[in-house]
């Protein structure tokens, strides 16, 4: 099967005029599309015969659909769900069931798809909030807010949009640096000092033992330090609940010994999904720990020094998306690495220009921020 950029596929389909219904009349009415706890930044929604349509390009990206082409047929997949659109025959086969027609519609030269059809066929559920003109897509096996809480969030987001004097309203940014301490930790610290920005560091136990003075410097500079395990070794850390807790607690103990700071906030290696089991979560809670993941991933580790611009770009894009989806607390994942030290000044300058304020983690004002949506962590 050929991996195909959907853009090319759509261009071909539109050029050939293959069996794509053209919208005769579509209300330009604005609909809000949600996904789990988020509000998706999709702006060009349309309503045709009472059915909400969205640009296929955008929704396929947000739902992480795999779109490929084989023998002139488009395959759309997500986990075990499969849709085959045969443009020549004008049929759509969803999970083995064929129907005539395709789910696509051309509106102003763009391919649109029904939210309802793409969501249900890819194994999602839908919630309607009619008075808020909102449709939420969700999956039962993925953590998400209950209906009432989500409804309140949507009302808040809409209210903020209406009354916001600036998008920077109360946005707080937490810069977080994983995998130190090492020589790049000191470089990052110098940049933070230069711009007077507080941050949060998640250190590795084995590195702390060799770089005790860096740990002290970071503490003395006013940044919070949390444990990121002793070894960072997936097989060792996640071997059992016992090994997991021991790895996190030994790191926290070292921080306490070296700085006097109690380190109750942890960041688990590779993020809490899918590695952290419910037993591990319970153990963290019992031991009084809190666990942070992030909502903006810089993906800095993927790039070389020369590609540092890409890290800045990723942060800008991630922060904009998070804010558009209603987040007001931004936790950015960075690492103590060479390429990150190069990108950091531009990242801070941009965030400051946006008017956002920076904070270091404060255990007295703990905000729950984990992929599991576990409020006790």
Shortest separation between residue 178's beta carbon and Zn ion, angstroms:
4
Closest listed residue to residue 295, CA positions, set 371, 354, 244, 241: 371
The answer to whether residue 178 forms part of the interface with Zn ion (CB under 5 A) is yes
Q: Contact letters (x/-) for Zn ion, 33-62, by CB under 5 A?
A: ------------------------------
Residue 309 falls in the annotated catalytic set = no
Q: Which stretch binds Zn ion (CB under 5 A): 63-71, 101-109, 265-273, 345-353?
A: 265-273
CA pair distance 292, 360, nearest whole angstrom: 13
Shortest separation between residue 19's beta carbon and Zn ion, angstroms:
49
CA pair distance 356, 244, nearest whole angstrom: 35
Residues 301/18, Cβ–Cβ less than 8 Å: no
**Cβ distance to Zn ion smaller for residue 269 or 318:** 269
Q: Which stretch binds Zn ion (CB under 5 A): 45-53, 166-174, 179-187, 361-369?
A: 179-187
Shortest separation between residue 266's beta carbon and Zn ion, angstroms:
12
Q: Which stretch binds Zn ion (CB under 5 A): 250-258, 263-271, 276-284, 292-300?
A: 263-271
Closest listed residue to residue 354, CA positions, set 362, 365, 344, 346: 346
**Cβ distance to Zn ion smaller for residue 58 or 178:** 178
Longest distance between any two alpha carbons in the chain, whole Å: 71
**Cβ distance to Zn ion smaller for residue 103 or 269:** 269
Give the sign of the dihedral formed by CA 305, CA 273, CA 211, CA 332. positive
Output b/e per residue, 315-339; b: 16+ Cβ within 10 A.
bbebbebbbbbbbeebbbbbbbbbb
**Cβ distance to Zn ion smaller for residue 102 or 182:** 182
Shortest separation between residue 229's beta carbon and Zn ion, angstroms:
8
The footprint of Zn ion on this chain (CB under 5 A) covers a number of residues equal to 3
Q: Which stretch binds Zn ion (CB under 5 A): 7-15, 174-182, 183-191, 213-221?
A: 174-182
Reported as half-sphere exposure (CB side, CA atoms, 13 A), residue 83 has a value of 24
Output b/e per residue, 232-264; b: 16+ Cβ within 10 A.
beeebbbeebebbbbbbbbbbebbeebbebebb
- List C-alpha distances in Å: 250 to 176, 235, 240, 241, 281: 20, 17, 15, 14, 17
**Cβ distance to Zn ion smaller for residue 56 or 184:** 184
SS3 102: coil
Which residues, 6 or more positions from 35, have their beta carbon under 8 angstroms from its beta carbon?
62, 63, 136, 137, 138
Query: Among all chains, which residue has been given the structure tokens 């309607």?
Result: 128
Q: Which stretch binds Zn ion (CB under 5 A): 112-120, 190-198, 266-274, 290-298?
A: 266-274
Residues 204/252, Cβ–Cβ less than 8 Å: no
**Which residue among 178, 179, 300, 327 is the active-site one?**
178
Packing angle of the helix pair 212-220, 183-194 (nearest 10 deg): 10
The answer to whether residue 179 forms part of the interface with Zn ion (CB under 5 A) is yes
**Cβ distance to Zn ion smaller for residue 37 or 293:** 293
The number of angstroms, rounded, from the C-alpha of 292 to the middle of its chain's C-alpha atoms is: 13
Reported as half-sphere exposure (CB side, CA atoms, 13 A), residue 226 has a value of 24
**Cβ distance to Zn ion smaller for residue 34 or 269:** 269
Residue 133 falls in the annotated catalytic set = no
The answer to whether residue 293 forms part of the interface with Zn ion (CB under 5 A) is no
Q: Contact letters (x/-) for Zn ion, 269-288, by CB under 5 A?
A: x-------------------
The number of angstroms, rounded, from the C-alpha of 49 to the middle of its chain's C-alpha atoms is: 33
**Cβ distance to Zn ion smaller for residue 58 or 179:** 179
Q: Which residue is nearest to Zn ion (CB)?
A: 178
Q: Contact letters (x/-) for Zn ion, 74-113, by CB under 5 A?
A: ----------------------------------------
Q: What is the DSSP letter of 179?
A: E
**Which residue among 75, 228, 335, 369 is the active-site one?**
335
Q: Which stretch binds Zn ion (CB under 5 A): 164-172, 268-276, 283-291, 336-344?
A: 268-276
Binding site for Zn ion (CB under 5 A): 178-179, 269
Active-site annotation, residues: 178, 335
């Amino acid at each position: 099967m050929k991996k195909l950029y959907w853009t090319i596929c759509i261009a071909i389909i539109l050029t050939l005029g293959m069996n794509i219904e053209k919208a005769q009349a579509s209300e330009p009415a604005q609909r809000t599309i949600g996904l789990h706890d988020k509000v998706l930044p999709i702006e060009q929604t349309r309503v045709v015969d009472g059915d909400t349509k969205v640009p296929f390009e955008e929704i396929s990206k947000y739902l992480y659909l795999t779109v490929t082409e084989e023998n002139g047929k488009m395959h759309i997949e997500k986990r075990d769900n499969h849709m085959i659109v045969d443009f020549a025959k004008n049929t759509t086969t969803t999970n083995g069931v064929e129907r005539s027609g395709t789910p696509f519609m051309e509106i102003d030269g763009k391919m649109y798809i029904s939210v309802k059809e793409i969501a249900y066929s890819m194994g999602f559920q839908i919630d309607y909030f009619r008075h808020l003109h909102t449709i939420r897509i969700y999956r039962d096996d993925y953590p998400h807010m209950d209906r009432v809480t989500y409804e309140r969030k949507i009302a808040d987001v809409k209210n903020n949009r209406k009354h916001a004097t600036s998008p920077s309203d109360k946005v707080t940014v937490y810069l977080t640096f994983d995998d130190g301490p090492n020589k790049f930790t000191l470089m990052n610290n110098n940049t933070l000092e230069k711009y007077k920005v507080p941050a949060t560091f998640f250190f590795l136990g084995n590195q702390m033992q060799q770089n005790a003075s860096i740990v002290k410097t970071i503490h003395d500079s006013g940044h919070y330090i949390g444990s990121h395990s002793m070894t960072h070794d997936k097989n060792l850390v996640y071997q059992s609940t016992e090994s997991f807790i021991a790895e996190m607690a030994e790191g926290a103990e070292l921080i306490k010994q070296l700085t006097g700071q109690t380190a109750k906030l942890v960041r688990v290696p590779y993020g809490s999904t899918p590695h952290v089991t419910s037993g591990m979560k319970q153990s963290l809670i019992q031991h009084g720990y809190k666990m942070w993941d992030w909502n903006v991933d810089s993906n800095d580790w993927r790039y070389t020094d020369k590609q540092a611009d890409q890290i800045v770009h990723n942060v800008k894009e991630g922060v904009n998306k998070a804010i558009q989806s209603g987040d007001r607390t931004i936790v950015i994942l960075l690492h103590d690495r060479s390429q990150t030290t190069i990108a950091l000044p531009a990242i801070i300058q941009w965030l400051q220009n946006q008017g956002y304020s920076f904070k270091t983690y404060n255990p007295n004002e703990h905000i729950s921020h984990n992929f599991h949506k576990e409020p006790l962590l």
